[in-house]
Amino acid sequence: MSHWTLEKAKIFLAVIFLISFSVNVSSAGIGLSPVSVRFEDVLKDGYAEKSVLLSTSSTEPIECIVTATGPAREWFNYSTEKRFTLNPRSHQPLKIMVSPPSDTPNGVYEGYISVVILPKTSPDEGVGSAVSTGVSLKYYIEVSDVEKREYVISDTSVRDTEEKMPIEFSTVAENIGNVLLRPKIHIDISDAEGGGVVKSIDYSDSVILPTTRQTIAIKVSPNDLPIGKYTAKFIAYLDQELVSEQELGFEVLEKGSLRIQGRLEQVSLNKIWVYAGEIVEITASFQNDGVLSTSAVFKGKATMDDEVVALIESDEVDVPAGERANLTAHFTPKRTGRYVISGKAYFTKKITSEKSTILNVIEKDETAALAGTGNPSSGSELIPLAAVALVASIVIGLFIWKTKKKSKERA
């Protein structure tokens, strides 16, 4: 009876060890957002894509593998290799691309896409090396044979230019249908003083895959317009149907006038995982590409679920010609969740394009707070392991004590 009890104790101890190791692995903190993706009206032999966000609070690189289950598991491709490395304390977009075979029956197909952390295989790690963890999202694919032709236009703009330099238009076209599209764009440029149309342009060179967005750049060259102010009517068509019509103003300036140029290179955070109420430092990297110095300020916002929760603004900084400067601001999130931090740099009556980044906010662990840890990805990760080990020690101690007591009573 005593021998059998000791064997049970050994087995119980091994189980507790495995549980402890599993908790420690899961503390790597890998996340996947959103929790599901839906591909609607995908044509047979067609194409659709969705992007999700992988994130981790781990302090070390994580080796991962992405796999799919369900009837559509062979239809997927990804923007990364199936086996890849997730950098420490980072977030990484993952594009999921699907293409049903031409003989696929109409219907809705469901399954899961999983990102699994590969276990370390060092010979010194023993039984724990076989334990791994991961995250999954559910996919829904609606296969159809009905064509849907539709796209939308956004972020249309034109830049001031100098005489004899190209006129540069830009727009973003998003294909919200399920077939490949080729947008048709017509531009009429008129003298702003009411002199009528002085130049017309037609463009149809861009091809857009279903469910994708594409920035279309149109350069009008040669530019033989004299110095002055102009209005451009920017019209987008699908076949003969009007999609969008906008009026844009721009100016042709004397050669050498555009000597102040700058760009916002990136927006970054000192931490991407924080507790609610913790101050986050936001750094906007601004590059002065012009030949004159300028002063720059970063203005942006923090949004959650498409709702603006805070406006963000840095101090104004003088940036010499050809140099880079960091425009620094701060934000204190009040609620847990996923925030988008976005904004633009403003300099000498000019505005850069927008850049953004992601902030993850979690509840502060009371146990970690008592232990004096203030970082979601530091020593607090060890607390679940310590708790399990403590409970295991108590349980095993009680088990052995009761066994010995029963043996003495029988003796």
Q: Roughly how many angstroms between the first and final C-alpha of the chain, as a whole number? A: 13
- Model pLDDT for residues 103-149, shown as the tens digit of each residue: 999 999 999 999 999 887 654 444 444 456 889 999 999 999 999 99
pLDDT at 362 over 80: yes
Task: Give the ranges where 322-370 is alpha helix by DSSP (H).
Answer: 366-370
327/296 Cα distance (integer angstroms): 8
Place of tokens 């295991």: 392
Kind of pairing between the strands at 355-362 and 273-275 = parallel
Average pLDDT, integer, range 192-215: 92
Least confidently predicted of 84-98, 307-321, 362-376: 362-376
Phi then psi dihedrals of residue 32, to 5 deg: -140, 125
Among residues 209, 205, 169, 175, the alpha carbon closest in space to that of 187 is found at: 169
Phi then psi dihedrals of residue 67, to 5 deg: -140, 165
| Both tokens assigned to 190 | 């008129």
The sheet carrying 107-117 orders its strands as 36-43, 134-144, 107-117, 62-68, 83-86
| Both tokens assigned to 371 | 């232990």
70/40 Cα distance (integer angstroms): 17
> Higher pLDDT residue, 346 or 123?
346
Domains identified in the chain and CATH numbers: 30-144 (2.60.40.10), 151-253 (2.60.40.10), 262-362 (2.60.40.10)
**Mean pLDDT for the chain overall:** 84
Reported as a pLDDT band with limits 50, 70 and 90, residue 391 is low
> pLDDT > 90: what percent of the chain?
64
Reported as a pLDDT band with limits 50, 70 and 90, residue 408 is low
Among residues 127, 62, 128, 141, the alpha carbon closest in space to that of 99 is found at: 141
Q: Which residues lie below 8 Å from residue 89, measured CB to CB, with a gap of 6+?
A: 56, 57, 58, 59, 271, 272, 273, 377
**Cβ-count burial 389-407 (b if 16+ within 10 Å, e if not):** eeebeeeeeeeeeebeeee
Least confidently predicted of 86-100, 276-290, 324-338, 360-374: 360-374
pLDDT given at position 398: 64
Average pLDDT, integer, range 38-53: 95
108/113 Cα distance (integer angstroms): 16
Q: How far is CA 59 from CA 87, 199, 236, 268, 371, in A?
A: 9, 58, 48, 18, 19
pLDDT given at position 198: 93
| Both tokens assigned to 350 | 């000019």
